[in-house]
Amino acid sequence: MTMKTNARAVVIGGGVIGVSVAYHLAKYGWKDDVVLLEKHELTSGSTLMAAGNVSFFHSNYYGTQVNKKSIEIYKELEKETGQPVGWHTTGSIRTADNPGRMDELGYAYSMNRCLGLDVSYVTPEEIGKMHPFIQTEGLLGGLYWPDDGDVDPNSLTQAMAKGARKLGVEFNLHTMVTGIYQKSGGEWVVETDKGDITCENVVNAAGLWAPEVARMVGLEIPSISIAHTHILYESIQEIADRDTYLPLMRDPDKSIYLRQEMDSLILGLYEANGQQWYKNGVPWDYAQEELNPDFDNISDCIEGGIERFPILGETGFKHVTAGPITYTPNGDPLVGPAAPLKNFYNACGYSFGITQAGGIGHYLAGWMMNGEPEIDLWPMDSRRYGSYANWAYNTEKIADTYPRLYATIYPNEFRDAARPNRTSPIYEYQKQANAVFGDYYGWECPNYFPPKGEDGYEDPSWRRSNAFQHVGNECTHVMEKVGIIDLTRFAKTKISGPGAKAWLNHMTCQKVPEKDGRIALSPMLDHNGNFKTDMTVSRVNENEFFCVTASVGKKHDQHWMLENLPEDGSVCMEDITYQMGCLVLVGPNSRDVLAKVAYDDVSNDLFKFGTSREIFVGRTKCRVNRMNYVGELGFEIFHPIQHQITLYQDLMNAGAEFDIRLIGMYAMDCMRLEKGYLAWKSEMNVHHTPLETNVAWTVKMDKEFIGKKGLEKQKKEGIPQKLVCMVVDAKDADPFGYNPIFAGDERIGMTSSGGYGHRVEKSIAFGYVKPAFAKEGTQLEVEILGRKRRATVSAMPLYDPKNEKMKS
């Protein structure tokens, strides 16, 4: 058979992920317009080595949703394709032997309940009854998912391939992709050793070789291969004698999992010194070969397995499988549009690809065909990594991530690996001020500043940590005096040209400022009217706009703009992120400080709230926006990065008489909650429209813009959910997002973010609820770490509702 020369989509890689993407693209309509290319046989990479465990558990909400979808698909596949996949519903238990782990399970429990999953707490006694081979000493408890199971990875892949072939997908095995280029018209040409294929869309599902395939189109992707091991034991008579399957066990504190395989057990290990495999690229001719197990490295985990399951100590090994597995810096895969390219997608970097293949095939196919993802896939979106995630960064980060795969996850833990990376010029000053740093999109940013002489280390916790009081002091300081917040990491984009204004008006639901020096909060929406991103637009002049978005969204946001840029050259987009820093001067004394150093009148009469001006602050020419994210009188001072130290010294000297001090990210986040300011990917993601929120006022329906039709439809059909602010009766653990919200026993919504507001002295949650429950004063409950807490729907914002402070 000769290979097709044209296709709608070409999928590179015949592992479980590529096959699932091809199957779902065909199933949802592209049928025989899909071609899959595989350099060897199907399952020639990681897929063949996998143990086949499939669980609901994932560290984040959307990952859990992907896993849920996979399980639904796997249970139906045999019926759909006629090919058995070896699915067993065994249930699974995840154990805890320390309070921090119990809190992590509490987070998972509550987050899973947001999705309506069947999950329950189990005591050590119950665990012992469910798994007679476990030694429960030292366990505090666990979580049980009755619907988890396992599947045969090869059969699963073959079943989806069979389904895909039936729908018309062309599979070209022993066909190696050797190059990829884009024609001037935008079509891709995929070159292979059997000829070329021209296509509209390309999917990089090349697994272990995905970085090499990415390099064919000039991209670096953060994925590295590591040797991973599991051990199959000899037959065990007590297991052969059982008539029910044992649940899959995960003891993350011993870094192991254990599952039944026929009449025996498989022990899987995440050893402390995981060995990276072919750091500089996996050889093209590698296929289906097992690696040599490194017993020195895995012996601690084997011992841990015997401690927890003593029967392993009495049973011999039948087979030890060591195979390469891909890892990314945070262990989540790389999915979706590959910025800055158009119609080129990633579906790689999988370390739990068997679990996620079904779900990701479904969601990515939908995303490619409809232009928007059905669920928010941001935690997996390959654009979450910027250019900072280079080879050295990945090597260091992944060496830290792999052995910690089962380590307790804490929301406030910032690991040291691959840091510091990007720093502001004033980094040394921040260090001198005793900053405790976090890393955000590769930037070192102070989270908070404990007093000098105090330990600069935050205890990782799901509860209020040792940072709590220090953060409170920073909030009070900003409320009463003046502080500087370093937001150098903001993504900054200059939009200019004769078509700039009209184009921006098309891109955002807000009206672009009509006068020079005006600022507009300008959400960008997707085609359905849901939030794409949130942008602050300052008009420099008729043909030039200064646009600021969240640092972590830089690649995502700029990709969206680039994809929509007119081809006639009337609009120019320039990334000026790394040319400009931003220091935010905030607090009631901020104007007094600025007045001392500015070569300009910064009084309220001449520099009104919501305006932007070019001002000399000392010898530095700055763009100063009179606005901020904390709700006090304040100024965002954007400046050429090379002037930052001078500017900082000028401000600190001028502020000395007002007791000026540095303020961190944590305080800023507490204060934005009090002010009802929304955060991107928390309150603003693909599941929310502005009409459901307190920024509905930014929507100007008397003009055309992307997403308008979606909003019109929503207006006609009615708003399905409303964003509310709740004051929560929490004592030591505040809401954080993905907490279920209840009215009695009914689950009526989910929190989007939360924390403690030190200025109002209240625990605060934002969340989306059914409109009937959005009225001020409604009594609800928010579940935090597995415990329900009383919550009252409250006026938004809680702090300075008339904005008197900001406008003073």
Residue ranges that bind ligand FAD, judged by CB under 6 A: 12-18, 37-40, 44-47, 49-53, 176-177, 205-209, 213, 228, 230, 287, 321, 323-325, 348, 350-355
Q: C-beta of 698: minimal distance to ligand FAD in Å?
A: 40
Q: C-beta of 113: minimal distance to ligand FAD in Å?
A: 23
Q: Kindly report the number of other CB atoms within 10 A of residue 745's CB atom.
A: 6
Q: Tell me whether residue 278 or residue 457 sits nearer to ligand FAD (CB atom).
A: 278
Q: C-beta of 271: minimal distance to ligand FAD in Å?
A: 12
Q: Tell me whether residue 184 or residue 280 sits nearer to ligand FAD (CB atom).
A: 280
Q: What residue type is 286 in one-letter code?
A: Y
Alpha-carbon span 248 to 573, nearest angstrom:
52
Alpha-carbon span 514 to 541, nearest angstrom:
9
Name the nearest CA neighbour of 754 among 722, 791, 717, 719.
791
Alpha-carbon span 206 to 44, nearest angstrom:
10
Q: Tell me whether residue 14 or residue 124 sits nearer to ligand FAD (CB atom).
A: 14
Buried b (16+ CB within 10 A) or exposed e, 45-55: bbbbbbbbbbb
Name the nearest CA neighbour of 493 among 567, 571, 388, 577.
577
Alpha-carbon span 662 to 434, nearest angstrom:
10
Q: C-beta of 54: minimal distance to ligand FAD in Å?
A: 6
Name the nearest CA neighbour of 537 among 567, 576, 505.
505
Number of H helices, E strands in the chain: 19, 38
Cα dihedral value 298, 299, 305, 310, nearest 10: 160
Alpha-carbon span 62 to 281, nearest angstrom:
30
Q: Tell me whether residue 328 or residue 434 sits nearer to ligand FAD (CB atom).
A: 328
DSSP 126-158: HHHHH-TT---TT--EEEEETT-EE--HHHHHH
Q: Tell me whether residue 14 or residue 757 sits nearer to ligand FAD (CB atom).
A: 14
> Which runs of E-coded beta strand occur in 222-315?
224-233, 248-251, 256-261, 264-269
Alpha-carbon span 6 to 2, nearest angstrom:
12
Q: Tell me whether residue 158 or residue 590 sits nearer to ligand FAD (CB atom).
A: 158
Q: Tell me whether residue 13 or residue 442 sits nearer to ligand FAD (CB atom).
A: 13
Q: Tell me whether residue 250 or residue 556 sits nearer to ligand FAD (CB atom).
A: 250
Q: Tell me whether residue 45 or residue 710 sits nearer to ligand FAD (CB atom).
A: 45
Q: What residue type is 176 in one-letter code?
A: M
Alpha helices, H only, 288-352: 295-308
Alpha-carbon span 802 to 800, nearest angstrom:
6
Name the nearest CA neighbour of 210 among 48, 51, 326, 110.
326
Q: C-beta of 248: minimal distance to ligand FAD in Å?
A: 9
**DSSP class of 30:** I
Q: C-beta of 256: minimal distance to ligand FAD in Å?
A: 13
**DSSP class of 691:** G
Tokens of 672: 């934005």
Q: C-beta of 444: minimal distance to ligand FAD in Å?
A: 31
Q: Tell me whether residue 44 or residue 739 sits nearer to ligand FAD (CB atom).
A: 44
Q: Tell me whether residue 12 or residue 375 sits nearer to ligand FAD (CB atom).
A: 12
Q: C-beta of 258: minimal distance to ligand FAD in Å?
A: 12
Alpha-carbon span 659 to 668, nearest angstrom:
19
Q: C-beta of 347: minimal distance to ligand FAD in Å?
A: 7
Alpha-carbon span 375 to 378, nearest angstrom:
9
Q: Tell me whether residue 38 or residue 458 sits nearer to ligand FAD (CB atom).
A: 38
Q: C-beta of 26: minimal distance to ligand FAD in Å?
A: 17
Q: C-beta of 52: minimal distance to ligand FAD in Å?
A: 5
Q: Tell me whether residue 291 or residue 572 sits nearer to ligand FAD (CB atom).
A: 291
Q: C-beta of 222: minimal distance to ligand FAD in Å?
A: 15
Q: Tell me whether residue 156 or residue 436 sits nearer to ligand FAD (CB atom).
A: 156
Nearest residue to the partner ligand FAD, using Cβ: 45
**DSSP class of 421:** -
Q: C-beta of 381: minimal distance to ligand FAD in Å?
A: 16
Q: C-beta of 362: minimal distance to ligand FAD in Å?
A: 15
Q: Tell me whether residue 258 or residue 389 sits nearer to ligand FAD (CB atom).
A: 258
Alpha-carbon span 44 to 53, nearest angstrom:
19
Q: With contact defined as beta carbons under 8 Å apart, do 535 and 557 qualify?
A: yes
Q: C-beta of 354: minimal distance to ligand FAD in Å?
A: 3
Q: With contact defined as beta carbons under 8 Å apart, do 62 and 112 qualify?
A: no
Q: Alpha-carbon Rg of the chain, whole angstroms?
A: 27
Name the nearest CA neighbour of 207 among 341, 113, 35, 325.
325
Q: With contact defined as beta carbons under 8 Å apart, do 125 and 137 qualify?
A: no
Q: What residue type is 546 in one-letter code?
A: F
SS3 track for 635-669: EEEEEEHHHHHHHHHHHHHHHHHHCCEEECHHHHH
